[in-house]
Amino acid sequence: MKLSITQTLLLSLLFILSFTIQNVESAKILAVFPFPGPSQYILVQPYLKALAAKGHEVTVINAFPQKQPIANYRDVLVMEVHENYAELIEQGKIKRNKWDAMTFLAGFFLNLTETVIKNPGVQKLLNTEKFDLIILEVLHTDAWYAFGRHFKAPMIGISSFGIDPVIDELMGNMSPLSYSPLITAGLTERMTYLERLKNVILSFMELIHVRVRLIPAQKKLIKTYLPHIKDDIWDLSTNFSIMLLNNHFSLSFPRPYVPSMVEVGGFQIHYKPKPLPQDIMKFLNSSSEDVIYLSMGSNVKSKDFPPEKLKMLTEVFGSLPYKILWKFENPTLPGKPKNVFINSWFPQPDVLAHPRVKLFISHGGLLSTSESVYHGKPMLGLPVFYDQQMNIKKGIQSGFALGLNFHTLPREEFKSSILEMMNNQKYINNAKTISNIYHDQPMKPLDLAIYWTEYVLRHKGAVHLKNPAQSMNFIQKHSIDTVGVLVAAFILCITIVIIAVWKVFKFVLGKKSIKKVKVN
Ligand SMILES: *[C@@H]1O[C@H](CO)[C@@H](O)[C@H](O)[C@H]1NC(C)=O
Ligand SMILES: *[C@@H]1O[C@H](CO)[C@@H](O)[C@H](O)[C@H]1NC(C)=O
């Protein structure tokens, strides 16, 4: 078939048109990740940089400046958040009851929320610029959720730690408490009766704490710094178009989500294999032993371990027939054995990808856990705080991890756990199985995150994804008002029936006794 010139022109026009519908215009995006701990920002940087590479203009409020300028990527720095951070981490280690621990955390985030909002650079953004989309970490910093209203722009939430009852409330999702453990409770989805009871109590405590302590304080910040915003904080907070969760069912467990919640677990890993640095390669190639990699993440520094613990670790490592790569932040380690290589930084993904690395000794933070699963490596967990205990418990349940108490860390148990994990194939086999499940996805998690981000831009906030539960209160959402009335009615009916039966019974009994009296 031959096409006329007009037909050809028309077809090309249609083709171009269909292309423009699919594509989204370059947008001005504001991302808010000014956390003093590096994890949250490490997690989202590949995503934000990918958005910039796609032509969007990305402005990021943060506390870790880029070393090299990146096209379409602008830093707005809030360096003052680093003040007192080390001290706060120390204070965070103090043992508290659950309520006080929640208050401590809320206080820390309240301080952070205010520090950021009153920063001159941030104030200038608020007062002089316009944005088409706001991307925010959802972590007890509710006053920032007013940015969506302020800029009249849709918001995308990111949750580094996956999901919790507060995020469920924001998105109108429902997670059965019977198998959805609170992140900080150190439980997995398989709970005994008492653990389930504990989970319900802790989850309710969290919800109540947010209502009575966190929200009122955050409300005050909006009143002080964004006085023109009169909306209820609840309306501001339930206005996220999409929530991207750093979670995946291979890392956690299958669970219900509303369509506006998307699992993009591991989306920080855009792994392109690079050779290891020269000095590490030289060390590894000097003999052919298997390798163990030890890193406690960025908040717990090996150099600050108590001297007895350092001595124990070096002695145990020295006695092992393996090579050890140890993320150790001091240039020297007293008594360092020959088979140990220390450095203040390792290219973690490349180390984990190395075929001779057989074990990852880790604090079990979310980033490390997902990288371990990504590369199919077993983990020996030494959890310290927040979600780490849960991640390690989950790894133990899935059969690719063992966990030890970091604070007591008995020498014999430490050594025997390492030997067990290096010699028993089941750990690496299980790690590989989970890794295969993780990798079998229709779309790479980073591409999925970009897709949904542009979806929100294409559909002007995608309000069609809002679900009715977002405008209901807790009692309505959980049908406590309706089911409650039915239960009350049922109890009333039963009571009436019992009373009636009792009356009839008494009446009959009464007649009988009268008869008896008569007979007598
Ligand atoms: C945050 O807390 C520190 C003390 O830890 C204090 O110096 C600082 O003024 C506080 N910032 C705000 C905005 O309240
Ligand atoms: C909700 O988001 C829309 C953009 O999607 C914005 O225009 C509106 O002001 C926001 N409303 C509130 C109460 O935050």
Nearest ligand for residue 113 CA: 1
Nearest ligand for residue 88 CA: 1
Contacts of 263 (CB under 8 A, 6+ apart): 245, 247, 248, 249, 257, 445
Q: Are 266 and 252 in contact (CB under 8 A)?
A: no
Which is the closest atom of ligand 2 to the Cα of 239?
A: 1
Nearest ligand for residue 153 CA: 2
**Tens of pLDDT, residue by residue, the chain (520 residues):** 555 666 666 666 555 555 444 567 899 999 999 999 888 898 999 999 999 999 999 999 999 999 999 999 999 999 999 988 888 877 877 888 889 989 998 999 999 999 999 999 999 999 999 999 999 999 899 999 999 999 999 999 999 888 889 999 999 999 999 999 998 888 888 999 999 999 999 999 999 999 999 999 999 999 999 999 999 999 999 999 999 999 999 888 899 999 999 999 999 887 788 889 999 999 888 888 999 999 988 777 878 888 888 899 999 999 999 999 999 888 888 888 999 999 988 999 899 999 999 999 999 888 899 899 999 999 999 988 778 888 898 899 889 999 998 888 888 999 999 999 999 999 999 999 999 999 999 999 999 999 999 999 999 999 999 999 998 988 999 899 999 999 999 999 999 999 999 999 898 888 776 666 555 5
Residue nearest to atom 9 of ligand 2 (CA): 149
Q: Tell me how far apart the alpha carbons of residues 517 and 314 are, in angstroms, rounded to a whole number.
A: 97
DSSP-derived letter for residue 31 is E
Residue nearest to atom 1 of ligand 2 (CA): 239
Extract the tokens encoding 372.
């371990």
One-letter amino acid at 35 equals F
Which is the closest atom of ligand 2 to the Cα of 461?
A: 5
Ligand 2 lining (C-beta closer than 6 Å): 148-149, 152-154, 231, 235-236, 239, 461
Give me the residue label for tokens 């140890």: 326
Q: Tell me how far apart the alpha carbons of residues 265 and 247 are, in angstroms, rounded to a whole number.
A: 4
Q: What angle do CA 258, 263, 269 make, to 5 degrees?
A: 165
Angle between helices 98-117 and 120-128 (to 10 degrees): 70
Extract the tokens encoding 346.
């390792």
Residue nearest to atom 2 of ligand 1 (CA): 111
Q: Are 148 and 134 in contact (CB under 8 A)?
A: yes
